[in-house]
Amino acid sequence: MKIRFWAFIPAALIVVILVAGWTFGIGPQLSLVSSTNSKRAAIEATNAATQARIIRLRADYLAIDALKLNLTELQTSVPSTASIPAFVTELNTIANANGVTVKSLSVSDARQYAPASATLAGSSGKAPTPAKTSSLITSSNFVLVPVQFSISGDYPKVLNFVHDVQNGRRLFLVSTFSSAGATTTKATSLKDKGSQPVDSSITGFAYVILGAK
């Protein structure tokens, strides 16, 4: 009986050593390894995101001159102030290039922007089409400046002038256009109209975005 008892003791000691070794040695080490691997994976993911951002920033920096030029063009198109003298200078430049004369110009009080309403349903009875708007453009930061000017010149040149004004450096939208002095019947060709000077009246809007820098 005693022999069996003493023979059991080494086996029990082995079990105790194994349990203690797992509890106080191997187990904590495996937990530490798992935690370290998780932290390393998180760090690697952060580093990858940072590296991708650095690549984007480097690409933006290499294109910074083009971005600055585009920003300047946008600020010229829709400035932060009315900048009417600059607009008048542009109108005269376009007029001279097209061989027409700006006879008068008037600027009315600025208006707050109002988002366009939905397009009304037509005779087809289709549902209204929602107007395309941007949440960045509001009545608080976007201003319309009504402008009216009259010009004189050959009819085709006047048309070219109107086209160039709407595609100039300053954003300008023509709302009404009328001419007097040339025959405007359908039978009259554009060439025939060009042989006669006309006086034209143009109204439209220039735009200002407040707070833009």
Task: Write down the domain spans for the chain.
Answer: 2-62, 79-115+136-209
What is the structure's pLDDT at 159?
92
Which secondary structure element, helix H or strand E, spans residue 102, and what is its range?
A: strand 101-107
- Of residues 4 and 105, more confidently modeled: 105
Residue 117 has pLDDT above 80, yes or no: no
In angstroms, the CA 21 to CA 18 distance is 5
Residue 25 has pLDDT above 70, yes or no: no
What is the structure's pLDDT at 21?
53
Cβ-contact 161, 99 below 8 angstroms: no
Average pLDDT for 131-141? 72
| Tokens matching residue 166 | 């709407």
- Residue 189 confidence class, pLDDT cut points 50, 70, 90: very low
Cβ-contact 171, 207 below 8 angstroms: yes
Q: Which residues contact 164 (CB under 8 A, 6 or more apart)?
A: 94, 97, 98
Average pLDDT for 147-176? 92
Residue 11 has pLDDT above 70, yes or no: no
Which secondary structure element, helix H or strand E, spans residue 175, and what is its range?
A: strand 172-180
Q: At 128, is the secondary structure helix, strand, or coil?
A: coil
Residue 118 has pLDDT above 90, yes or no: no
How much of the chain exceeds pLDDT 70, in percent? 62
Amino acid letter for position 152: S
CATH superfamily of 79-115+136-209: Ribosomal protein S6/Translation elongation factor EF1B (3.30.70.60)
Q: What confidence tens digit (pLDDT) does each residue in 59-100 have?
A: 777 767 776 666 666 777 888 888 899 999 999 999 999 999
Burial 115-131 (b: 16+ CB within 10 A, else e): eeeeeeeeeeeeeeeee
72-81, 86-95, 110-119, 145-154: which has the minimum mean pLDDT?
110-119
Q: How far apart are the first and last CA of the chain?
A: 97
24-33, 137-146, 203-212: which has the minimum mean pLDDT?
24-33
Cβ-contact 175, 203 below 8 angstroms: yes
Q: Which residues contact 25 (CB under 8 A, 6 or more apart)?
A: none
What is the structure's pLDDT at 166?
92
Residue 55 has pLDDT above 90, yes or no: no
